[in-house]
Chain A
Amino acid sequence: MKYRHTKQIALLVAVILAAVASRFSGSINPYYLQVILFIGINVTLATSLNLINGYTGQFSLGHAGFMAIGAYASAYLSTEKSAGIFQALGGANAFSIALIFALVLLGGGIAAALAGLIVGVPSLRLKGDYLAIVTLGFGEIIRVLIQNTDAVGGPRGYSGIAGYTTLFWTYAVAALTIYVVLSMVDSTYGRGFLTVRDDEVAAESVGINTTRYKVTAFVLGAFFAGVAGGLYAHTTTYINPSGFDFQLSIQIVIMVILGGMGSTAGVAFAAVLLTLLLEYLRFVAGYEWLPDLVRRIASNRMIIFSLVLIALMLLRPQGLFGALPRMAGGRKTPKSQPGPTIATP
């Protein structure tokens, strides 16, 4: 409890810093700026997935699907439905853009959260790899649905989205996600998430409604994934269904595993690291003095990801930060040992 205010102050400081940094974003090379925005978006994606996969111990592979819903919903809202509000506020000025973008992001988040609820309620009765398969299938269904919806461009993608995303929005959302996840988990109510991960039967036997916790984690995680999707759509100004395939879900899962399931700081750090690594690989692939084989590997991200993951599992199975000392003496059963291996039910 004594950390309550520290967390709120940290959130406020982060938001102010983001606003200040935003002022100077004009002087940053546009490419670097975009990478910095992607980092913030990935931090949001990874820390929100960590609530589901890390703290609550459910294995979801559907984060790209929720992100896609958020991206498309917010893009649709800002492109098709915001003209009236602009008119009412006297055209496009700083205030009206901020208001509309906030509403649009919220809309994307809510759409994703609703999808999370619809998928979560029936499928969270499943455990381990079964849940992973259902969420994986869900992500693909979303992608295929979008691909066949002409109103949002279908396979051609959705273009002409306004470039509203700024450093401020991206990092304010990332800070808010971290704040929400941390304050959820650090409360008596939030400890319920950890008990669901540790032992579902024991959790039920002390009177915890495990289904509600799982659905809460799922809906909340989906909400922030949706907001991140909105930020992404308004960064790139063009989105395409194939950009939200299951490789993206895996990429987010890898960030969570790399950082250490159930460690918000570790997962946020891993999101930064992996985003930078991915971007740097583009340059490596272009270095002509490197042997051809190295350049070819560098241009295939999945190989690098797999290698990073294998190395990590051998050297630090608990993730870069681990779930901190908590994991030190955990019971040696697959259930309570959060790791990439999916516990068989």
Chain B
Amino acid sequence: MLELTDVAVSYGSINALHDVSLKVETGSIVTLIGANGAGKSTTLRAISGLLRVNNGWIRYEDQDITNSAPHKIVARGISHVPEGRMIFANLTVHENLLMGAYLRKDRGKLGQDFDFVFNMFPRLKERAKQVAGTLSGGEQQMLAIGRALMSKPRCLMLDEPSLGIAPLLVKTIFQKITEINQSLGITILLVEQNANLALEVSHYGYVLETGHIILHDKSPALRANERVKDAYLGGG
């Protein structure tokens, strides 16, 4: 479904990604793990068009999307939940979700999707009229995911959904991620620092180190890998 070939991205003269190649199969959850600064978020931002790709190709559903404008990529069905819960703090929860459906042509069917999101995250329904900036961290993350779902994506990219969230809520959010994948059949590309959790819910994993993919395998195999255990899973 989504395929990166030798993608290179740089911030000014500093190369953040060197030659990242990866493949996301339709219907799967693929995770990208690695330390801070390894280039995980950069990879997602390159896919969604927020950063310029210097070299390599990004293909989605057999079409080249390298360096397309972000709004065109959203229109193709890739939705990106950016790191740090970037919600619209001054809009209400309801308005945030509405903006998620900004590019949708079938506005008549929005009610159904609101119901779906509210069903998945009942807290958002309780707070629908509330200004989003007043939500807790976990609720903001739910809102960010809900907003991304409103665009009816076929591929959802999540950037650090567990960042700065109470442990209890982290569990809920990862349950929802699995649910989104299974019940809606949405392909998920997950970037997560909590490698343990990420490898638990995903089918396939890539390990990124200073802009290079150093390892990739099925998630259970990665969890058993000594190198991954040592570096990312707290020594097993």
Contact = CB atoms under 8 A, between A and B. Distances in A.
Interface string A184-220: 0000100110110111011111111100000000000
Contacts of A13: none
A328 interface: yes
B77 to A, nearest CB: 10
A327 interface: yes
Overall SS of chain A's interface = helix
A191 B98 contact: yes
A205 B134 contact: no
B87 A202 contact: yes
A204 B71 contact: yes
A208 B73 CA distance: 11
A286 interface: no
Contacts of A345: none
A267 to B, nearest CB: 17
Given A191-B95, A199-B86, A205 B102 contact: no
A124 to B, nearest CB: 15
Contacts of B187: none
B48 A206 contact: no
Nearest to A196: B88
B81 interface: yes
Contacts of A336: 89-90, 133
A205 B79 contact: yes
Contact of B86 (A201, A207, A323): A201
Given A195-B99, A326-B131, A329-B134, A206 B89 contact: no
Interface string B93-104: 001001110110
Nearest to A326: B90
Interface residues of B, number: 31
Contact of B133 (A201, A208, A329): A329
B82 to A, nearest CB: 5
Overall SS of chain B's interface = mixed
Contacts of A205: 48, 50, 70, 74, 79-82, 86, 148
Contact of A202 (B88, B131, B151): B88
A213 to B, nearest CB: 11
A331 B89 contact: yes
Contacts of B166: none
B221 interface: no
A323 B90 CA distance: 10
B183 to A, nearest CB: 22
Contacts of A243: none
Given A206-B74, A207-B71, A201 B82 contact: yes
Contacts of A325: 131
B147 A206 contact: yes
A191 B147 CA distance: 15
Given A204-B50, A206-B102, A199 B134 contact: no
A331 B132 CA distance: 9
Contacts of A188: 98, 102
B48 to A, nearest CB: 6
B228 to A, nearest CB: 29
Contacts of A197: 90
B52 to A, nearest CB: 13
B69 A206 contact: no
B231 interface: no
A202 B144 CA distance: 9
Contacts of B90: 194, 197-198, 323, 326-327, 330, 336
A203 B69 CA distance: 13
A206 B100 contact: yes
B165 interface: no
B132 to A, nearest CB: 9
A212 to B, nearest CB: 9
Interface string B51-79: 00000000000000000011100110001
Contacts of B100: 206
Interface in A289-332: 323, 325-331
A19 B90 CA distance: 38
Contacts of A209: 69, 71
Interface of B: 48-50, 69-71, 74-75, 79-82, 86-91, 95, 98-100, 102-103, 131, 133-134, 144, 147-148, 151
12 contacts: A198-B90, A199-B86, A199-B89, A204-B48, A204-B49, A205-B70, A207-B102, A207-B151, A208-B71, A327-B90, A329-B134, A336-B133
Interface of A: 188, 191-192, 194-195, 197-199, 201-209, 323, 325-331, 336
A-B interface, 8 closest residue pairs, ranked by CB to CB distance from nearest = A207-B74, A202-B86, A329-B134, A331-B89, A198-B88, A204-B70, A207-B103, A205-B80
Given A204-B50, A205-B82, 8 more contacts: A188-B98, A188-B102, A192-B102, A199-B88, A201-B82, A202-B82, A205-B74, A329-B133
